[in-house]
Structure 1
């Protein structure tokens, strides 16, 4: 296989008429990394992927693959391969001819291209199905054919546009493991677009969270999970509560904020001028049903909803000027108590479980 390449995106924008889909983003994806572009629909992640692939023109900025600036190169000369969401297999061709199609377009000898196609089908554990047509395969098998067809050109980077979205939940989990195994064994750079937080956490070495055409955070999964950079990341990843207010004071690496019509809370972070807007995040799984021993690290609220999730129970709580505050409790801890909707409960958390969030300049 071809050596993996670093992808360097430098101040890249994409403008459609009066609308800006991607706002001057800069990102370095190290060679051999599994990178997931993560965000809601319309955040710019697919436009970014298509600009890397050359299927979308760049309005401004540059993209470099390895040592080559590929900004103005056609897709076939970039050293990338793209696997589309629909798989786009040819229904009238068998698997060998489907996989070998790009080599046929390059004028590669028939025997050579068929041999290489069989090698790729073997890699995907599909050699027994070589004479079948796509309609005779399951969704997971079709996906592996599409992967084989993309990889047969020995790309330096494989680009995947929501490759698991058409699969059922059980097959998604199996194919996640297959994709990670494949990327590890091939050692090439993968860039994978998804709107699934779980998928990105399971697969990526580098998660790039996008919102409204901007990068909110680019970091390892554990960093994104434990220390979200902004309120959007904290809410989108779903593992933190966000409390918004105005800074009251800053002392000894802690910021105190006042919530309108509510309480006063403290979080770890750099000093912020009094009166400035500030967001803090509190880990949902670190919230305890217990009186707070320290001012600013808890409040008493009313339970508005209870969801049993098997190993955990999710409580939604309103109070202290906060709506829909979430506590994720261990199921054993929850059932030791008798909590029901409408109850007033004391909540608390540790000093390390509340952090001050940053803000993306608009």
Structure 2
């Protein structure tokens, strides 16, 4: 449909008085890829998206679209389109006029803009609803109208600010698939803000995890899932336990850290302060055993059991760790069930550990 744009942020910051919302972030998003900015509320992800769009002025650094610095260009001149969380549809206009509105603002004559709007509605499978108004549509249909309105300008990049947040869980899954299909068919660069780890994993070619205005890790979903770069990423993604302590040994394979509850091994190199060392262990790679392996497990007490259907989530307290999570396949759990209050022994393989870094470590 259009030429996709590479997006680059070069040491971009945003200050609101003394408050730093985005702190010198640098990032490259490949042309034609699907990138998700992921993080908790207030981490700077929506502000970053708005700076790319031109709806927020940057304080420092450069926003580069298709190899052109666009800091001083208004949104309409950047070659981007933005889809807002609220969809921002005009309630008094039918779908055709909603979708055609930006072309009307550009002076495109009525017959041509309505024809192009109908083409976009057909692409979104909404042509049968063309004469309806937004309040006569479902949430998913309204979202597709907002997408059609953004895409009719033929942007090089589509920017989406939490587009699925207002939808019910079942519709979110359907619209997730629709967004992925649409992006692949258009070959356009999509940048999507979300606070949902599952949403980012399902959609993105590149996940950019943000915290406190900084980028903690930017990588493929598989890399983020298997090898989180920092304690924040490991905890936020929710699929790793984190053990924190002091570095006491390092060799060619990995490290040993000392925590209040014992010593634990991890695979990888430690960089930075030896008094601040962290190891992550995948929640689904921990097993109940008869005896604890040295430095690769501990004993504790079950504090909670949640049957999630295909998996069972077990929480354990021990080794001076408040909550350590184990996720088991249902068949594995029920072959050897445990209950709250039961003493258990946990173990994991050394190759299933990851030594974590810190964003400011040299």
Instruction: Report the TM-score when normalising by structure 1.
Output: 0.98
Q: How does 1:102-117 map to 2 (within 5 A)?
A: 102-117=102-117
CA contact (8 A) 1:250 1:272 kept: no
CA contact (8 A) 1:292 1:349 kept: no
Residue number in structure 2 paired with 1:307: 306
Residue number in structure 1 paired with 2:197: 197
Does 2:9 align with 1:43? no
SS of residue in 1 equivalent to 2:85: coil
Change (3 A) 1:134 1:275: closer
CA contact (8 A) 1:284 1:328 kept: yes
Q: How does 1:1-362 map to 2 (within 5 A)?
A: 1-260=1-260, 262-271=261-270, 275-291=274-290, 294-361=293-360
In structure 2, how many angstroms separate the alpha carbons of the residues matched to 1:137 and 1:343? 52
In structure 2, how many angstroms separate the alpha carbons of the residues matched to 1:162 and 1:274? 37
CA contact (8 A) 1:8 1:63 kept: yes
In structure 1, how many angstroms separate the alpha carbons of the residues matched to 2:356 and 2:303? 26
Change (3 A) 1:304 1:290: same
CA contact (8 A) 1:289 1:347 kept: yes
Change (3 A) 1:69 1:273: closer
Change (3 A) 1:338 1:206: closer
CA contact (8 A) 1:292 1:298 kept: no
In the TM superposition, residue 323 of structure 1 has moved relative to its aligned partner by 1.4
In structure 2, how many angstroms separate the alpha carbons of the residues matched to 1:201 and 1:97? 35
Change (3 A) 1:292 1:15: farther
SS of residue in 1 equivalent to 2:170: helix
In structure 2, how many angstroms separate the alpha carbons of the residues matched to 1:86 and 1:154? 21
Change (3 A) 1:102 1:357: same
In the TM superposition, residue 271 of structure 1 has moved relative to its aligned partner by 4.8
CA contact (8 A) 1:302 1:318 kept: yes
Change (3 A) 1:253 1:307: same
Instruction: Report the TM-score when normalising by structure 2.
Output: 0.98
In structure 1, how many angstroms separate the alpha carbons of the residues matched to 2:103 and 2:157? 18
After the TM superposition, list the runs of 4 or more consecutive aligned residues in structure 1 that deviate by more than 2 angstroms.
Answer: 271-276, 291-294
SS of residue in 2 equivalent to 1:164: coil
CA contact (8 A) 1:162 1:193 kept: yes
In structure 1, how many angstroms separate the alpha carbons of the residues matched to 2:145 and 2:222? 32
SS of residue in 2 equivalent to 1:252: coil
In structure 2, how many angstroms separate the alpha carbons of the residues matched to 1:305 and 1:153? 52
The two structures, once aligned, show a CA RMSD in angstroms of 1.2
SS of residue in 2 equivalent to 1:114: helix
Deviations 1:251-275 (A, max 9, x none): 2221001112x11100001156895
CA contact (8 A) 1:247 1:272 kept: no
In the TM superposition, residue 67 of structure 1 has moved relative to its aligned partner by 2.2
In structure 1, how many angstroms separate the alpha carbons of the residues matched to 2:256 and 2:359? 21
In the TM superposition, residue 338 of structure 1 has moved relative to its aligned partner by 3.9
SS of residue in 1 equivalent to 2:234: helix
Deviations 1:9-66 (A, max 9, x none): 0000000011000000000000001000000000000000000000000000001100
- The gaps in structure 2 that reach 5 residues or longer are none
